[in-house]
C-alpha cells in the first residue's frame, strides 16, 4: 500500500476520534447543564466554582424494598445526627437522588451509581477531586449500628481531607 494512503487513513482516523470525543464531551456538559449542574461535583453557577465540601449521595429508584428503605433511613439519620454543623456550614451536602428519572441518568455513568448505593464526592477548588462508592451498604443494612458507624467513618474520612 502507498505510504501516502496509509498516512491519509491514519489522519482520518485521528480526526474521527477527535470529533467523537468532542461530541461525547459536549453531550455530557449539556446533560449536566440541563440538570442545573456543572461537571460532576459542581452545581454550575458563576464559573462553576463552589466551596470545598463533601457531597453524600444516596441513589434509589422508583421501586422500593425493605433494604432500600433501611439504607435511605439509616443514611439520613447518620448524616443528620452526626454532621449537623457540617450540613449547616455547607461543608457536607446530602443528596437523595432517584436515578430512574431521566435528568439523573448521568449519575449512573459518573459514579457507577446503582439502586440503593451511597457515594461520597470530595469537591475542592470547585472541582470534583475524588469519589468513592460505599460498597458495604447493602451488606450492613441489616445492622443499623454497624451501618451507621460505616457511613459516619467514611464521611469523616472524606471531610478530614478538606
- Residues 145, 147, 152, 154: is their CA dihedral positive or negative? positive
Least confident of 2-16, 34-48, 113-127: 34-48
Question: Which three cell numbers mark 36?
Answer: 442545573
Confidence category of residue 67, pLDDT binned at 50, 70, 90: very high
CATH superfamily, with its number, for domain 46-160:
Glutaredoxin (3.40.30.10)
What is the rounded distance in angstroms from the CA atom of residue 120 to the CA atom of residue 22? 28
pLDDT of residue 95: 95
Q: Domain residues of the chain, as ranges?
A: 46-160
Amino acid at each position: 500500500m502507498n505510504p501516502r494512503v496509509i498516512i491519509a487513513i491514519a489522519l482520518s482516523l485521528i480526526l474521527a476520534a477527535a470529533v467523537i470525543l468532542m461530541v461525547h464531551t459536549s453531550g455530557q456538559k449539556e446533560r449536566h447543564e440541563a440538570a442545573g449542574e456543572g461537571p460532576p461535583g459542581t452545581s454550575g453557577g458563576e464559573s462553576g466554582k463552589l466551596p470545598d465540601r463533601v457531597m453524600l449521595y444516596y441513589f434509589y429508584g422508583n421501586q422500593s424494598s425493605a433494604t432500600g428503605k433501611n439504607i435511605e433511613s439509616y443514611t439520613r439519620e447518620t448524616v443528620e445526627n452526626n454532621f449537623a454543623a457540617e450540613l449547616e456550614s455547607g461543608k457536607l451536602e446530602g443528596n437523595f437522588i432517584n436515578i430512574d428519572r431521566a435528568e439523573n441518568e448521568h449519575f449512573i455513568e459518573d459514579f457507577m451509581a446503582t439502586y440503593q448505593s451511597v457515594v461520597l464526592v470530595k469537591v475542592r477548588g470547585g472541582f470534583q477531586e475524588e469519589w468513592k462508592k460505599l460498597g458495604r451498604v447493602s451488606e450492613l443494612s441489616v445492622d443499623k449500628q454497624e451501618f451507621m458507624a460505616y457511613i459516619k467513618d467514611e464521611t469523616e474520612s472524606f471531610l478530614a481531607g478538606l
